[in-house]
Chain A
């Protein structure tokens, strides 16, 4: 059987098993998602007040509202939380067990990621629906399914990009004892540069070029911008091209680092 098909079957089995296991904690997912949506709502209210107060923002109320209503969904859909777990599995030798199995340890993380997001989407969907309804007068709804399709593709690419960066940092545990500080630093940098805290459109002019082309924009902000507006057809194409280039670039680097790490691994705990 070809490797891709076999891996796909293993992934499907593991994802289904993970969903069944994780659904035991469905109450916890609902509460987690309620927590997740709090900060975007706070930011939304503050920035709307600023606009109503006459602040000369470079974006309008529609953009701000759509941005923050969609933000928690995109942040959830593109998130990854594996760095610490992957580093622990390498450091404590759990990787050894996976090396004799007919699937990669990383496939386990992919199934965990997909299954949790599946359940989180069920919890978060209705909350975003309510928020959308409350602010419906200020929401920007793209005409036609085209933009939504591009949005969906961009969210998937962003999720792959975040996951790949996670593998890259987690895999450093092959050579470093503790990658926690590095992971924390990356989280802090990413929270500002991805647009999770403040829309990147509100960043100062002097930072414009850097902010537009740095990789973290393509992990959260860019997919949201596709719906929230402000991107012309050519901006969209260039953006998708850059996003794809980052996915491929980081993918190649992560694959090389992972392969080098596997070769350097001395089977701790085996």
Chain B
């Protein structure tokens, strides 16, 4: 480094330590959220449209469940009310994904092929954090609220009365589901480093995630393994609802946290690998 000529003076590092770095990123994310809320107030019709489309799509998604339980009163130990609770949980997690993750990962192709990543790399921010969480679609949170309403209705109809421990377990598992799905979708999107266009890969994610509308036991055993460990949508719907019913202990929660840590580490490694192969698109 001694041969490098620079005209900038010495500066203190931006972050005193690792904790400060995380705190700075959290503050930055709060700014992104505030900006997204302000932006949404400018497009109120967009909010209403998103709400209506979300409700209609939710109704559409629940039609097969209602028809299914028109022919049977229970399936593999799941009643209609429990599957409706699961539909609510699925709506909450996918709503959160649509609000906080989807607006970013949908832009991955343009970030990489139009050179927008160049500008991000110059900024004093973790580029992976920025590309995954910069944009927020506040209107999608309306789907989270509708999911919550359906979840409560489902719980009331099934007569479940979860205690605080079960609620904590369900929350932990749903958070694991959110993190795991984000990791899987991110990994799929980061393939843009090598494939250039990942729009079609996003559609694979959006179609596969539909499996989360149904309890895991509705699928054959090999598919259950796939939906738990490879495309872990079971953590976003089935496991949290089972926890609310008091059917799960702490083991699945521990497993979910372990799996989430492994997934995040792998995605981080994939990102770093991709970044090394990135040769810029704009210059």
Question: Is chain B found bound to chain A in the same assembly?
Answer: yes
For the complex, is B156 an interface residue (Cβ under 8 Å from A)?
Answer: no
Chain A residues at the B interface, C-beta cutoff of 8 Å: 25, 27-28, 31-32, 34-36, 38-39, 42-43, 45-47, 49-50, 53-57, 181, 184, 188, 191-192, 197-198, 202-204
Near A by CB (< 8 A), chain B positions 196-227 give: 197, 199-201, 203-204, 206-208, 210-211, 214, 218-220, 223
> Would you list which residues of chain B between 45 and 61 have a CB under 8 Å from chain A?
49, 53, 56-57, 60
Residue B4 is within 8 A (CB to CB) of chain A in the complex: no
**Bound-complex Cα distance A192 to B195 (A):** 35
Does B14 sit at the interface, judged by CB under 8 A? no
Q: Taking the complex as formed, is B68 at the interface, i.e. its CB lies under 8 A from any CB of chain A?
A: yes
Q: Which residues of B contact A31 (CB under 8 A)?
A: 200-201, 203-204
B60 in contact with A191 (CB, 8 Å): yes
Q: Which residue of A lies closest to B64 (CB)?
A: A198
State the Cβ distance, A234 to closest chain B Cβ, in Å: 28
Q: Are A53 and B211 CB-contacts (below 8 A) given A35-B204, A188-B60? A: no
Per CB-CB distance, the 4 closest pairs between chain A and chain B, nearest first, are A38-B207, A31-B200, A55-B72, A35-B203
Partner of A198, one of B56, B67, B207: B67
On whether the beta carbons of A53 and B207 are closer than 8 Å, the reply is no
Chain B residues within CB distance 8 Å of chain A? 49, 53, 56-57, 60, 63-64, 67-68, 70-72, 75-76, 195, 197, 199-201, 203-204, 206-208, 210-211, 214, 218-220, 223
Counted as pairs of residues, one from A and one from B, with CB atoms less than 8 Å apart, the total is: 78
Please determine whether B218 and A49 come into contact, CB atoms closer than 8 angstroms.
Answer: yes
Task: For the complex formed, measure the closest distance between the CB of B6 and the CB atoms of chain A, giving whole angstroms.
Answer: 44
- Please determine whether B68 and A50 come into contact, CB atoms closer than 8 angstroms: yes
Using A38-B207, A204-B70 as known contacts, say yes or no to A45 and B218 having CB atoms under 8 A apart.
Answer: yes
Given contact pairs A28-B197, A45-B223, A46-B64, A54 touches B70 in the complex (Cβ within 8 A): no
Q: In the complex, are the beta carbons of B203 and A32 less than 8 A apart? A: yes
